[in-house]
């Protein structure tokens, strides 16, 4: 107490747990309940007197509570818009504003109590209420309550006080929904975390208590009659053991398919994988999955790949080995990708091919597209390493073909020794990726011969 502000002590008296109202002992008007004790429906939240004894209601200022820890909505504290934020900032002192500068939504931190009567402060970065991102807000708000409760359990705190971790001035429908998340999460956490905290204090105003009295009767019923009367307050949604809403569209399926018995009524467009079988455990597949193209059969890929390899290896029998290095054949047979050849082109020494000046980028045309020149006269196919020639071609054109380009081929004064074989040209065509074909704007052949026209076609 020595390090706390002296004027704080003079101005306020602390509120202890013994001075607060316990939910289980709060006055209950049985005349308002109409449920039948003999016909109680199945309760999702049954009567637990041990849990009810751990809930306390506080109408006082949060900064006056003398408990083990108080939970602070840091976004509200930093903005200082609400009365709660102003009271906490005044009671805690200026140090609290300098601590929380970089927190993400849903994150939880554990600090000392500053100048507050509470021993510790559990700070959460609460979400901002938004209809556009309502699902994300619900998930983050649930995470704030769970994180704060788990933090209290890890530090073995006996009592923790919760204000509203959302904006109570939002639309009534939203505040009611957020209230369900808050109380349901606290109930589930108390069931999961059996020992600590031993007391949960809800800091509310009298106006907010009008809503929360109904919510507490729903999730913390004090009798079977009360549970029966407030069962219709429960939303028709599924939730986990920690109180988080289960969203079917975000569920991760580990198995391939669900069985027919596990398929929910929401899967209206499902079908049986084996329609002829009438076994009750036949797998069913949602229509949302089968609507995609990859979910249906599209031929035998193994057989198609086998035929491609057989066609490639036939080049060896037709004399292709005389025109091309063995490595190029193996790269085609083994399925070496274009990107593998591109990596080789960037590391290989291609100065011998570059010195021939048979391939180069000469500039741009009127439309600004690059123009690539290929001169057949400078290519001596018989003495040239065709493997390196292909790598050099990829090295020069890879950055060019990202946009529209033109190719000018000079067949002028060329001889048979300057012309690569048809097999090699076909191999190059299938090796290059789609950009080379799709972005080719114009192909010019200067002084073409009959054979050069045939090869181009």
Bridge partners (DSSP) listed for residue 443: 407
Local confidence band at 252 (pLDDT 50, 70, 90 cut-offs)? low
Structure confidence at residue 408 as a pLDDT band (50, 70, 90)? very high
Mean pLDDT to the nearest integer, 139-160: 93
pLDDT(274) > 50? no
126: pLDDT strictly greater than 50: yes
Percent with pLDDT over 70 in the chain: 74
Q: Cis before residue 213, ω within 30 degrees of 0?
A: no
Shortest CA distance to 230 belongs to which of 287, 167, 187?
Answer: 187
C-alpha distances (whole Å) from 168 to each of 140, 143, 149, 244 are 16, 18, 21, 21
Whether residue 428 contacts residue 390, with contact meaning beta carbons closer than 8 Å, is answered with yes
Q: Nearest-CA neighbor of 182 among 246, 245, 122, 118?
A: 245
Half-sphere exposure of 270 (CA within 13 A, CB side): 20
Q: Which residue has the higher pLDDT, 90 or 407?
A: 407
Average pLDDT over residues 237-254: 80
Does position 365 have pLDDT exceeding 60, yes or no? Answer: yes
Of 232-246, 257-271, 437-451, least confident by mean pLDDT is 257-271
Of all residues in the chain, the percent with pLDDT exceeding 90 is: 23
Closest CA to 216 of 51, 70, 67: 51
Is residue 441 helix, strand or coil?
strand
Least confident stretch, 96-105, 243-252, 403-412: 96-105
Name the more confident of 178 and 282.
178
pLDDT: which is higher, 304 or 416: 416
pTM for the model stands at: 0.54
The region of weakest confidence among 42-46, 212-216, 248-252, 311-315 is 311-315
What letters, b where the CB count within 10 A reaches 16 and e where it falls short, cover 166-194? Answer: bbbebeeebbebbbbbbbbbbbbbbeeee
SS3 category, 318 = coil
Q: What is the mean pLDDT of residues 418-423?
A: 85
Confidence of residue 40 (pLDDT cuts 50, 70, 90): low
> What does the pLDDT read at residue 334?
42
Which of 59, 67, 47, 66 is closest to 83 using CA atoms? 59
In the chain the domains, ranked by start, together with CATH numbers, are 6-233 (3.40.220.10), 252-295 (no CATH), 317-456 (3.40.525.10)
Element (H, E) at 436: helix 434-438
Per-residue confidence (pLDDT) for residue 215, from 0 to 100 = 93
Position with higher pLDDT, 145 vs 309 = 145
Query: What residues contact 255, with CB distance under 8 A and at least 6 apart?
Result: none
Q: How is residue 321 annotated by DSSP?
A: G
Q: What is the pLDDT of residue 186?
A: 94
- The pLDDT value given to residue 200: 95
Q: Up-side HSE of residue 250: CA atoms within 13 Å toward CB? A: 7
> What local confidence, expressed as pLDDT, does residue 405 receive?
93
Average pLDDT, the chain: 78
Residue 391 has a CB neighbour count (10 Å cut-off) of 22
Whole-number Cα distances in Å, 52 to 148, 236, 392: 19, 24, 78
Most confident listed range (10-19, 68-77, 259-268)? 68-77
3-state secondary structure of 203: strand
At 192-236, the pLDDT tens digits run: 987 889 999 999 988 889 889 999 999 999 988 888 888 888 888
Q: Which of 268, 267, 272 is nearest to 284 (CA)?
A: 272
Q: State the pLDDT confidence band at 272, using cuts at 50, 70 and 90.
A: very low
Summarize pLDDT for 47-85 with one digit per residue, the tens.
Answer: 999 999 999 999 888 888 999 999 988 887 777 777 887
Beta strands in 188-347 (DSSP E): 199-203, 258-259, 271-272, 283-285
The pLDDT of residue 70: 93
Q: Tens digit of pLDDT for each residue in 302-358?
A: 777 777 666 655 554 554 444 455 555 545 544 457 788 888 888 888 888 888 889
Confidence of residue 113 (pLDDT cuts 50, 70, 90): confident
pLDDT confidence of residue 11: 44
Helix (H, G, I), strand (E, B) or coil at 284: strand
């Amino acid at each position: 107490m020595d390090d706390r502000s002296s004027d704080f002590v003079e101005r306020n008296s602390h509120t202890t747990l013994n001075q607060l109202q316990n939910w289980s002992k709060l006055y209950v008007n049985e005349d308002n309940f109409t449920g039948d004790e003999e016909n109680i429906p199945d309760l999702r939240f049954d009567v637990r007197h041990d849990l009810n004894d751990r809930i306390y209601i506080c109408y006082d200022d949060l900064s006056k509570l003398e408990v083990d820890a108080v939970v602070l909505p840091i976004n509200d504290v930093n903005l200082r818009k609400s009365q709660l934020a102003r009271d906490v900032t005044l009671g805690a002192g200026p140090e609290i504003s300098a601590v929380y500068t970089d927190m993400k939504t849903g994150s939880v931190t554990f600090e000392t109590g500053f100048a507050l009567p509470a021993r510790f402060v559990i700070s959460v970065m609460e979400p901002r209420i938004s209809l556009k991102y309502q699902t994300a807000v619900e998930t983050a708000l649930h995470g704030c309550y769970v994180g704060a409760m788990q933090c209290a359990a890890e530090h073995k705190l006996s009592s923790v006080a919760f204000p509203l971790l959302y904006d109570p001035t939002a639309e009534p429908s939203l505040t009611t929904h957020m209230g369900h998340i808050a109380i349901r999460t606290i109930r589930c956490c108390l069931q999961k975390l059996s020992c600590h905290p031993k007391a949960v204090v809800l800091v509310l105003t009298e106006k907010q208590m009008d809503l929360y009295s109904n919510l507490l009767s729903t999730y913390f019923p004090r009798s079977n009659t009360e549970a029966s009367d407030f069962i219709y307050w429960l939303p028709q949604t599924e939730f986990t053991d920690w109180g988080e809403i289960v969203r079917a569209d975000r569920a991760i399926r580990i198995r391939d398919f669900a069985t027919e018995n596990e398929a929910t009524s929401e899967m209206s467009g499902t079908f049986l994988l084996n329609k002829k079988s009438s076994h009750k455990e036949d797998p069913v597949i949602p229509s949302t999955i089968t609507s995609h193209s990859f979910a249906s059969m599209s031929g035998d890929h193994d057989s198609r790949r086998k035929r491609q390899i057989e066609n490639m290896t036939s080049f060896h029998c037709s004399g292709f080995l005389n025109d091309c290095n063995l490595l190029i054949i193996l790269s085609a047979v083994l399925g070496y990708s274009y990107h593998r050849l591109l990596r080789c082109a960037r590391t290989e020494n291609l100065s011998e091919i570059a010195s021939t000046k048979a391939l180069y980028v000469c500039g741009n045309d009127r439309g600004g597209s690059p123009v690539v020149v290929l001169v057949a006269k400078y290519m001596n196919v018989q003495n040239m390493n065709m493997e390196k020639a292909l790598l050099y071609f990829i090295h020069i054109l890879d950055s060019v073909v990202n946009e529209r380009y033109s190719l000018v081929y000079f067949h002028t004064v060329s001889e048979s020794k300057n012309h690569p074989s048809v097999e090699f040209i076909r191999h190059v065509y299938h090796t290059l990726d789609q950009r080379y074909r799709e972005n080719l704007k114009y192909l010019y052949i200067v002084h073409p011969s009959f054979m050069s026209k045939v090869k181009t076609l």
